[in-house]
Amino acid sequence: MASGANRVDLDGRPIKPMTICMIGAGGFIGSHLCEKLMTETPHKVLALDVYNDKIKHLLEPDSVEWSGRIQFHRINIKHDSRLEGLIKMADLTINLAAICTPADYNTRPLDTIYSNFIDALPVVKYCSENNKRLIHFSTCEVYGKTIGSFLPKDHPLRDDPSFYVLKEDISPCIFGSIEKQRWSYACAKQLIERLVYAEGAENGLEFTIVRPFNWIGPRMDFIPGIDGPSEGVPRVLACFSNNLLRREPLKLVDGGESQRTFIYIKDAIEAVLLMIENPERANGHIFNVGNPNNEVTVRQLAEMMTEVYAKVSGEVAIESPTVDVSSKEFYGEGYDDSDKRIPDMTIINRQLGWDPKTSLWDLLESTLTYQHRTYAEAVKKATSKPVAS
């Protein structure tokens, strides 16, 4: 049960209930953050999104204990005059809205740039003009390529952490050429970060920027044709989940050599709650939120997911569980990628005392158990429909 009694921040001060305007509340991250805020805090949420499927369990029925603390507003922030009024009503605005699917960066570069930069401009403007605090969600992709990726493959410095571990206040943001439209997302996200930072420096905007490193868990992305459009390419873990559910080979783009880290959504949400409730420690900072202990190549991820799925489903893996495909074949012309994305955790640990806890195996087991159940329910529902005579 959520309670305001005896809740204190990291410096021992009582935490006062606040009203939060959450843009993109109906998505993967938003749904878990709303859940956390409703069940463990006294805060109110103005939940803004186009869809509310992932938070319906929080909105219905009216008898739930938090029914008066969450309001859903069906809004597309591109063209809705209500946005400024809702930001004015809140103490804090959290902007989660984005196009963040790699396949779209190539095929929909204009939508990607508009969604992640142009559409975010009014949010920053209204927060600054009305002296409202902003927590803006960016991406680890703003780092682009690592310095080490430009060294020869056999160069000893490629193994030096200073050439690939990504630090908020030191690491450069290195992107590919303009023809590589895959970087449209990262560029748009970096530019809105610079705008937020400039508003803080020149106009006193209180802000925190979050750079997520592959947050994983139930309700993430979509399974094509089940809880999302029939066509489309979600991010790597959802792509692999889709292949496993349909008993298809997992597609390894360019051999699956890229290295990534993955963090459980519930660990990440703990970090966000600390940012929300400790403004004196979080304001003016950019935070990496990831788990460097959960580092694997994409090929290793595929192998581990195949093993975990066999456990949770009771199904034997198919004879050839993976297949190599080129990035051009999978994503289209103009795709490019970074070799590694390993977060440095010094700043968030120092400011908020936060460290992730969940192992890669455990987060995969939780996620795949949920997806296997969701898929089975969808298939059962589809096959039980009466056939028209």
With tokens 């592959």, the residue in question is: 214
- Cα 348–121–332 angle (5° rounding)? 80
* DSSP category for residue 317: P
List, in sequence order, the alpha helices (H) in 246-359. Answer: 265-277, 279-282, 298-313, 327-331, 346-352
Instruction: Give the whole-angstrom CA distance, residue 174 versus residue 33.
Output: 31
Catalytic site residue 185?
A: yes
Contact 266, 217 (CB under 8 A): yes
CB-facing half-sphere around the CA of 342: CA atoms within 13 A:
20
Three-state secondary structure call for residue 357: coil
Give the number of other CB atoms < 10 A from CB of residue 9.
Answer: 15
From the candidates 164, 185, 309, 375, which is the catalytic residue? 185
The torsion angles phi and psi of 56, rounded to 5 degrees, stand at -60, -35
CA distances from 11 to 17, 137, 286, 353 (A): 17, 25, 20, 11
From first CA to last CA, the distance across the chain in angstroms is 51
CA diameter of the chain: 70
User: Annotated catalytic sites, by residue?
Assistant: 185
